[in-house]
Structure 1
Amino acid sequence: MHKSIRIGYALWATILLNAATLMAQTPAPFKPTHDEIIARYKHAAKMDSLTKNAVFGDQVVPHWNDDEQSFWYAHMLPDGTSEYLLVDVKTGRKRPLANGEEIAAAAQQEQSRQLSSRARGGIVDFRGERISPDKQWEAYIEEGNLFAKQRSNGEVIQFTSDGTKETPYGAMAWSPDSKYLAGYFIHPVQDSLVHYVLSAVPETTRGQLVSRPYKQPGDPFTTYELFLFPLDKRAAINVDAETIDFPNAAPQLRWRDGDARYFTYEKFDRGHQRFRVIEVDAQTGATRNVVDEQTKTFIYHDRQYTHYPTGSNLLIRSSEKDGWRHLYLVDLVSGTEKPITTGEWVVRDVVDVDAEKKQIWFTAGGVIAGEDPYHIHYYRIGFDGKDLTALTPDQGNHSVVFSPGKSYYIDTYSTVNKLPVTKLYRGRDGKEIAVLEEAMLSDSYLQSGVTPPEVFVAKGRDGVTDIWGIVSKPSNYDPARKYPVLENIYAGPHDSFVPKSFVPYSEMQSLAELGFIVVMIDGMGTTNRSKAFHDVCWQNIADAGFPDRMLWIKALAEQCPFVDTTRVGLYGTSAGGQNTVSALMFQPQFYKAGVAACGCYDNRVDKQWWNEQWMGYPVGPHYEAQSSATVANARKLSGNLLLIVGEADTNVPPESSYRVADALIKAGKTFDFLSVPGMGHSDGGPFGRMKKRDFFVKHLLGVDPPDWNAGELPYNPDTGRERWSFQ
């Protein structure tokens, strides 16, 4: 027995010794005193000033001469002045423009090439000319009905009689052979109003009510019935097609090249789960689906690219049907469709199409193995999917400007922490001609001690997919201390949001200077990756990629002992505000404090186009289940919350925030609330940003922020950002 006791004591002593050693090696939590945090506010303001206008030579805006053999650009110098450089594109040699007259002449030549266009909106009577292509007929709408008058003898055909000013026929178009008119019977819908009150308008004593149309999920759309009007039949033919009830515009009609008997139009079904290109036989009114793509989740409407090359019966379109966004070539006559691009990477955008050369210029991400898949690179490819040419070989995020005839192009590239470089290339083969600029940092920035963000990658919830993000830490951080984490969140499914080009300084770094590790992450449910990556958001907005984000932050802490995962907060605006409140309601075991501004907390209250895209149609119980504005979900709130709303928000109705406040009050929850008079859709402006800093200092660092009313630090709300005196 005594032996066992001695062994027990020895074991316990070893455990205590190991624990003491571990404690000595584990960083202690960073907990500043009040005086220390005042000094950090001053230090952050100083860094804000020292890092202004930090980068020089980071861009080249070319002004091309007509022959494309030269261009000039303005080069900003560190002293704030500019020099004007003329570049010979064959050699890449630069020389200063000689004098003011030479500069003015170059500018005048460029301005002579500028063209302007005017957008047309609303319901239009005609798309194109009222006069028929053969000049024999003039069509017109009168009292909502369609007429055509023969120009030679004045004979009039009245095609319709059931139109009115309120429900007119319109968006008419002639067939190329002048045998048909085609257009729509339109049933307009007036959107319901949303309201807000401006509470502090100068020279008034009452709140000013502002009302405006605003379409919310489930609201009706203007509808369009497609009709044909053959001149020889002198009657209307109702096309055998579904009424178009989405989106809020009449589809454009495109007649077949060389055969005016047929035309096509595009149709997106409401709910975003079906996209079609439909062909109409003008002789019979019969239809067939040339393209018919359907999905169980969603087709991203705003990223649906279609292009009809001039002089052909071809369609170039984008699709994610194979799991990645790629380009396809459709023969509109036969209906056959072939891939142009393939692979486990994403076409980001189409830059240009040359119908004569049958070439496409486009941007893509993820083509180069091992590189950040969000970096944008430029490529050229043939309609047949052959001769894929990489135009931007250097690693980084690229922005290219082509000469008007694409004989040359200028490529500026960087990463989030590598300075921009600008190069000149030859268009036909992508040959590098010259390095035009290599960006530099100002002396004050270099002396400040601040560094750009660091890139960090960790596996997502599936253990396979890479999740990318950036990290900003205090310029004077102590590796022997553990700092709380702030996540700058925006998980809107319409894009990805972590910066990829050079970031010398940002609000993230300014917050970090107060004593935080500030991160930004693109989790699953955002776009610019695979379809499966994006599909996580489908009817699941409240997910916001949190399983990926939490794993990412934990992985960061494993590599960086100064990261404290027991003190994690987050902040965001708009969708980021929604994400912030969702985190405190649905992930309270991880996120302890949040500042949410102008959030779309209830997807039934926010704008139709954004919410139906991800949450689907019709509006069902799943909308309410994920809303932060329900008492049931409000009861789940844990941690500390500051809600900020601008009373004049025209993006997300202010009542979205007030409904969350109402639900929290009814659930017996405490929270902070800031309504900014006259403020629009924002993070609350300078005052809101000050309150955000103070909130996190109090709730994550555990120290009282500056007493602004007592003048511990001077604050001027008119400067647009916090500023203090350092004498």
Structure 2
Amino acid sequence: MKNNLYITAFFTLFLSCHFYAQNKEAIPYQPSKSEILERYKQALKLDDAVKNKVFKTSIHAHWQPDGNLFWYSNVLKDSVREYILADATKGTKSKLFNEPKLKKALSVITGKALSQKNLAIDSLNYDSKAKSITLKYDKSYFQVNLSDYSIKSVASLPKDFNKYPKLNDQWARWNFFKTDSISPNKKWSAYIKDHNVFIKSISGGEAIQFTTDGTKEKPYGALAWSPDSNYVVGYHITLVEDLPVYYVLSSLPNTTRGKLKSNPYKQPGDPFTTYEMHLFHVANQKVVKVNTPIIDFFDAPKLDWRKGDATYFTYEKVDRGHQRFRIIEVNASNGETRSVVDEKTKTFIYESRLFTHYNKESNTVVISSEKDGWRHLYLINSLNGKEKQITKGEWVVRSVDSIDEHKKEIWFSASGRNPGEDPYYIHHYRIDFDGKKMVNLTPSKGNHSISFSLNKKYYIDTYSEPDVPTTIELHRTDNGAKIMELEKSDASAYLATGMSLPEPFHAKGRDGVTDIWGIICRPAHFDPNKKYPVIESIYAGPQDSFVPKNFMDRYTAEMQSLAQLGFIVVQIDGMGTANRSKAFHDVCWKNLKDAGFEDRILWIKALAKKYAYVDDSRVGLYGTSAGGQNALGGLLFHPEFYKAGVAACGCHDNRVDKQWWNEQWMGYPVDKNYEEQSNVTNATKLKGDLLLIVGEADENVPPESTYRVADELIKCGKTFEFLPLPGVGHSDGGPYGRKRKRDFFVKHLLGVDAHNRNNDELLQ
């Protein structure tokens, strides 16, 4: 039955799409008000009907200490839960316990008759060695012997002390040191007193004062010991206090006054606290100023001391403006320095995705770089600076899971390596330090995520596509061999509602060569003889790519719901976003107003050429945060194509928004590009219909960013809708904002006047 539903859905879509491609005379969909009211009604019903209709999209494996057995649970129809025990060595799975016997045992100990329905267990722990389970039921805890189902009350569930394999922390580039620090040999204490550096013997005696020029405004601090206890690294710090941004909470209960709130908030161009590096020699009480530039971007860096020779350490420095990255080695004996790595670029180095791992045994560093045009891994000899490229090709390393220095192996994820596949799909690999013996642990087509057993002998591979159900498999780590399929998603009940799955679609971008990828959501039961307006859900923030790649991704839910009102809803990753080539990403450099619009417009036009039911003469877009900036940008810079936009909490002027995000893409110092690309500066260009949404309590993007746009639009006499939300933070407007957004698009793209929700009971 399930297979028949999938086949029926596929052929229905295939035949209808074939018909649409031939039907060049489709007429624009122009519903009446009664039709729209019915669509609202049916959309609400469908939203409710599709809830809890797809199962087995993920599992959470609870591994036993032996690393061979694990259990997990599935939630099935009507919230029925099943518990599964899997044996990786045998490649088998079975029920974790006999439910009738467990119910009987619980009934006896609680003195209550249990319902015939599924057993409602709040939480559970399994012990394979004792062959028992401990569970929480009806606010009490019980331990059950699975051999004979004898049962006893216990105080609580045992804690899981297992240490699961953990990703390397790619973000721990900066340290937050204590000002008081005991030396590794426990003989000395280094501390700050009256803003200066003192070191004192733990055994007693007078403290040694190393500095005298520390002040409240410019103290010493951030002390760190060398592993051999011979040196202390510290900094002469010039403190900078971030200026505040303000907002008013207008509608607090039990008061007739608004409340002024403020947060320290660094904007582009604002100064940073600076750190001037010094060395304090314990033996000769010498102070050495390190021969290196003042650290004027980010905090005091993490120090990596050379194993076996604590005279040397390295630290990382990203220059403000994100165009230079260095690994600098310091000779602690004299304060002299040299660059182990010194990478420069004409555009930007994506600092947040820099990966570095220091191999202590071999004095090497595994580092990521995009210098060959793609994000790859390199091995650097930290003693002589010699470099070897580990991964290479026209594909992208996405993350590093772990590094085994003894086996000289790297475990990582990448995308774009599998030909004939969506280049954003993530696969997982293992490779040697020399770039050989690369193993694809997840060869099946789809977007993959994996989790390892405690001993990393096995891994669970979960993969899917937007229109292909999730498969969950158990594999061996040594050779990637599949042991068994654990679960497969079942979407038959979802498809039976009439809802279709998103369709991946790609078309050529502005260069005529590069494929631009996105997804399409259609209304259920739409008329093949009609042309439906297009709404783009846009977020062109350069920090990532955003089109969902997994089956039943939660981010497609609103798109599919909005489509039911009579729209084709799409999402696209244009040039300027991440996870493709460096050239693809560089489009955003000092150019955030571009937002990949040229690619997006070509993509939608290609979609309309393929499917006659797509009306590319009526296109709207909506987004939040950077997406809010993009939504308004579409109306300002491409009014010939985009006719209506909803911009929520937009960072409309990159000078008003947060420093760390905007300088990464727009550069430093703040130059004319910031002003020229501002939605505020360009507000006079507005054509089409606009709804601005802003939360008055937004701590992410200052509300004034949106208010400045509104102010400029008013000054130049533009007509627009404005929805400020009392007490709301950084948001798309929440349930109320989403209702208003739907009404807005119905009015401006379908031509039906906005409903009066005060009178239309259905739309409350």
The TM-score with structure 2 as length reference comes to 0.87
Q: Name the SS of the counterpart of 1:582 in structure 2.
A: helix
Match of 2:480 among 412, 416, 430: 430
Aligned residue number for residue 296 of structure 1: 346
2:535–2:620 CA contact under 8 A, matched in 1: yes
2:165–2:453 CA contact under 8 A, matched in 1: no
Aligned residue number for residue 659 of structure 2: 608
How far has the Cα of 1:103 moved from its partner?
4.9
Match of 1:486 among 524, 535, 540: 535
Aligned residue number for residue 196 of structure 2: 145
Runs of at least 5 residues in structure 2 that lack an aligned partner in the other structure: 1-20, 106-122, 128-133, 135-156
Q: Name the SS of the counterpart of 1:614 in structure 2.
A: helix
Q: Name the SS of the counterpart of 1:360 in structure 2.
A: strand
Aligned residue number for residue 104 of structure 1: 125
Match of 1:579 among 602, 624, 630: 630
Of 255-264 and 322-331, deviating more is 255-264
Change (3 A) 1:114 1:379: closer
Match of 1:660 among 687, 709, 714: 709
Of 560-569 and 135-144, deviating more is 135-144
Aligned residue number for residue 301 of structure 2: 251
1:457–1:467 CA contact under 8 A, matched in 2: yes
Taking the aligned partners of 1:112 and 1:264, their CA distance within structure 2 comes to 34
2:22–2:612 CA contact under 8 A, matched in 1: no
1:230–1:236 CA contact under 8 A, matched in 2: yes
How far has the Cα of 1:122 moved from its partner?
11
2:174–2:301 CA contact under 8 A, matched in 1: no
Q: Deviation digits for residues 433-485 of structure 1, max 9, x if unmatched?
A: 00000111263x23210011101110000000000000011111111111111
How far has the Cα of 1:54 moved from its partner?
2.0
Alignment of 1:71-90 (within 5 A): 71-90=70-89
Taking the aligned partners of 1:130 and 1:593, their CA distance within structure 2 comes to 59
Alignment of 1:421-500 (within 5 A): 421-441=471-491, 443=493, 445-500=494-549
Alignment of 1:165-564 (within 5 A): 165-247=216-298, 249-441=299-491, 443=493, 445-503=494-552, 506-564=557-615
Of 350-359 and 405-414, deviating more is 350-359
Change (3 A) 1:123 1:296: closer
Taking the aligned partners of 1:568 and 1:237, their CA distance within structure 2 comes to 64
Match of 1:626 among 677, 692, 695: 677
Change (3 A) 1:25 1:537: closer
| Counterpart residue type for residue 303 of structure 2 | L
Of 522-531 and 96-105, deviating more is 96-105
1:162 paired with 2:213, answer yes
Aligned residue number for residue 17 of structure 2: none
Taking the aligned partners of 1:550 and 1:220, their CA distance within structure 2 comes to 39
Change (3 A) 1:92 1:103: farther
How far has the Cα of 1:130 moved from its partner?
2.5
Change (3 A) 1:173 1:342: same
1:125–1:169 CA contact under 8 A, matched in 2: no
| Counterpart residue type for residue 459 of structure 1 | K
1:65–1:109 CA contact under 8 A, matched in 2: no
| Counterpart residue type for residue 371 of structure 1 | E
Q: Name the SS of the counterpart of 2:326 in structure 1.
A: strand
2:177–2:224 CA contact under 8 A, matched in 1: no
Of 701-710 and 64-73, deviating more is 701-710
Change (3 A) 1:24 1:495: closer
1:84–1:103 CA contact under 8 A, matched in 2: no
How far has the Cα of 1:116 moved from its partner?
14
| Counterpart residue type for residue 686 of structure 1 | P
1:97–1:103 CA contact under 8 A, matched in 2: no
Change (3 A) 1:291 1:158: same
1:125–1:141 CA contact under 8 A, matched in 2: no
Aligned residue number for residue 36 of structure 2: 37
1:580–1:596 CA contact under 8 A, matched in 2: yes
1:329–1:339 CA contact under 8 A, matched in 2: yes
Taking the aligned partners of 2:410 and 2:66, their CA distance within structure 1 comes to 23
Q: Name the SS of the counterpart of 1:291 in structure 2.
A: strand
1:646–1:675 CA contact under 8 A, matched in 2: yes
How far has the Cα of 1:616 moved from its partner?
0.1
1:163–1:185 CA contact under 8 A, matched in 2: yes
2:173–2:301 CA contact under 8 A, matched in 1: no
How far has the Cα of 1:135 moved from its partner?
3.1
Q: Name the SS of the counterpart of 2:745 in structure 1.
A: helix
Change (3 A) 1:643 1:347: same
Change (3 A) 1:79 1:145: same
| Counterpart residue type for residue 595 of structure 1 | V
Taking the aligned partners of 1:488 and 1:213, their CA distance within structure 2 comes to 32
Of 190-199 and 79-88, deviating more is 79-88
| Counterpart residue type for residue 267 of structure 1 | K
Taking the aligned partners of 1:131 and 1:601, their CA distance within structure 2 comes to 49
Q: Deviation digits for residues 481-511 of structure 1, max 9, x if unmatched?
A: 1111100000000000000001276111111
| Counterpart residue type for residue 709 of structure 1 | N
1:467–1:552 CA contact under 8 A, matched in 2: yes
How far has the Cα of 1:97 moved from its partner?
1.6
2:163–2:454 CA contact under 8 A, matched in 1: no
Taking the aligned partners of 1:214 and 1:269, their CA distance within structure 2 comes to 21
Q: Deviation digits for residues 183-232 of structure 1, max 9, x if unmatched?
A: 21112211000000011111110111111100000001010000011123
1:28 paired with 2:27, answer yes
1:592–1:640 CA contact under 8 A, matched in 2: yes
| Counterpart residue type for residue 446 of structure 1 | L
Q: Name the SS of the counterpart of 1:440 in structure 2.
A: coil
Runs of at least 5 residues in structure 1 that lack an aligned partner in the other structure: 1-21, 716-727
| Counterpart residue type for residue 60 of structure 2 | V
Taking the aligned partners of 1:179 and 1:336, their CA distance within structure 2 comes to 29
Aligned-residue RMSD, C-alpha: 2.2
Change (3 A) 1:153 1:684: closer
Alignment of 1:716-727 (within 5 A): none
Aligned residue number for residue 645 of structure 2: 594
Q: Deviation digits for residues 272-296 of structure 1, max 9, x if unmatched?
A: 0000000111122111111000000
How far has the Cα of 1:354 moved from its partner?
1.4
2:189–2:201 CA contact under 8 A, matched in 1: yes
1:421–1:435 CA contact under 8 A, matched in 2: yes
Q: Deviation digits for residues 362-381 of structure 1, max 9, x if unmatched?
A: 10000101110100100011
Identity %: 60
Change (3 A) 1:533 1:116: closer
Q: Deviation digits for residues 490-535 of structure 1, max 9, x if unmatched?
A: 0000000000001276111111111111110000000000000000
Aligned residue number for residue 4 of structure 1: none
1:576–1:599 CA contact under 8 A, matched in 2: yes
Taking the aligned partners of 1:438 and 1:302, their CA distance within structure 2 comes to 35
Q: Deviation digits for residues 400-433 of structure 1, max 9, x if unmatched?
A: 0111221000001000111100000001111100
| Counterpart residue type for residue 296 of structure 2 | D
How far has the Cα of 1:635 moved from its partner?
1.5
Change (3 A) 1:125 1:430: closer
How far has the Cα of 1:256 moved from its partner?
1.1
The TM-score with structure 1 as length reference comes to 0.92
